[in-house]
Copies of this chain bind each other. A is one copy, B any other.
Amino acid sequence: MHMMKDTSCDLAQCGLPVALEVMGERWSFMILRAAFNNVCHFEDFLTLLGIARNILSNRLARLVDHGILARDPCADDRRRVEYRLTAKGYDLLPAMLALRQWGEKWGSTLCPDQVLCDERDGQPIAPILIRAHDGRLLGVQDLVWRSQSEIAASRKAAETQVA
């Protein structure tokens, strides 16, 4: 594959450690999954996931700290608490689905009977893959690391050509 080493995009400036600090652990994504299915109460997470109380408490607090979930009084019963996805939390849906699709593709025994679909035509969503800015599908062999300055230069060149 052509992906050259991105030595200059070092770990200090890479988004992956940032993401893994919160999500790099078994339960975080499972809690997110439940939240995407409109689970929002402590006890519901508890019974659905089969997680220990203290761990759930800890993880919910961490997700709230990181701004992925919001902790608010319940709309109908103000004494109760509700955990809701924030915009930052919703933004993890592609990553969660990509993981899930991978698990379903390579986990031989699996046969999920519910599939995520486009409401408009009722058909399953596309596999989550890598695409160019114009939507073309890209394989690993089509990918290359470039610096911001290289990108700016070639964009400017393209614009000049058009003009």
Contacts and interface: CB of A to CB of B under 8 A. Distances in A.
Interface string A117-135: 1111111111011111101
A55 interface: no
Task: Specify which of A39, A67, A115 lies most central, judged by the most chain B CB atoms within 10 Å of its CB.
Answer: A115
**Interface residues of A toward B: which range?**
35 or more
Contact of A97 (B119, B130, B142): B130
A93 B131 CA distance: 12
A150 B143 CA distance: 37
Given A6-B37, A20-B26, A30-B16, A144 B119 contact: yes
Interface in A38-64: 38-39, 48-49
A132 B115 CA distance: 13
Interface of A: 2-6, 8-9, 11, 13-21, 23-26, 29-30, 33, 36-39, 48-49, 67, 88, 90-107, 110-126, 128-133, 135-136, 138, 140, 142-148, 150-151, 154-155, 158
A115 to B, nearest CB: 6
Contacts of A126: 130-133, 135
A84 to B, nearest CB: 11
B123 A133 contact: yes
Given A20-B30, A95-B102, A107-B18, A147 B25 contact: no
Given A103-B19, A110-B15, A132 B120 contact: yes
